[in-house]
Amino acid sequence: MRGELTAKGRATRSRIVEGAAAVLRERGVASVTLDDIMARTRASKSQLFHYFPAGKDELLVAVAQFEADHVLEDQQPYLGRLDSWEAWEQWRDVVIERYEAQGDECPLGSLFLQIGRSTPGARAIVIELMRRWQESLAVGIRSLQANGLLPAGLDVDARAAALLAAIQGGVSILLSTGRSDHLRAALHQGIADLRRAGDAVT
């Protein structure tokens, strides 16, 4: 697709991406065809290839970006205001509820398996998602420092990275087993470790 999209073009492209995301969640990446997506989105083949000239792979990357954006949006407003222990506990509960509701079906994970880790667009989406997520956690930890709840010398980036790694590990086990115990334990422990680090200043 070349050139800047008009408002109508952006709306049409968004409708196709959102419709494709919905049908992919329902039926799985492997079994969905472009005909299925066209039927769901009421888009013609010419429209589909106008917005996604490379076909299904390009559309899958766009859907992966859509799903990645929702990973963080679904954690708001809690992820954006981690300035108290209560706020961290509210965020923790939202993350656990989100993944428990999702169960062992992960639209984003399925998409990345389908389009492959070697696809530059897919890898870039993962890298950016993890960067934004870790930075949001780091901002929250710095807010605790600013509020006198954590020591100024705490390694913020290392703590944020460890929390994100704990979440991803818990989610991976959830996807493999359908059980959220490990995710729940990882988040509880990660926040408990932060609180212990704050004992010196409270």
Give the tens place of pLDDT for each residue, 151-198: 999 999 999 999 999 999 998 898 888 899 999 999 999 999 999 998
Count of CB atoms within 10 A of residue 192's CB?
A: 10
- Whether residue 9 is predicted with pLDDT greater than 90 in this model: the reply is no
Pick from 36-45, 61-70, 113-122: least confident: 113-122
For the entire predicted model, the pTM comes to 0.84
| Residues constituting the chain | 202
> What confidence score (pLDDT) does residue 172 get?
87
- Whether residue 127 is predicted with pLDDT greater than 80 in this model: the reply is yes
pLDDT (average), residues 43-56: 91
pLDDT band at 115 (very low <50, low <70, confident <90, very high): low
Average pLDDT, the chain: 88
Sign of the Cα pseudo-torsion (37, 40, 44, 46, in order): negative
> What confidence score (pLDDT) does residue 106 get?
67
3-state secondary structure of 3: coil
The CA–CA distances, whole Å, from 192 to 72, 97, 180, 181, 186 equal: 22, 19, 18, 16, 10
pLDDT band at 118 (very low <50, low <70, confident <90, very high): low
Cα–Cα–Cα angle for 59, 61, 64, rounded to 5 degrees: 110
- Cα–Cα dist 69/125, whole Å: 9
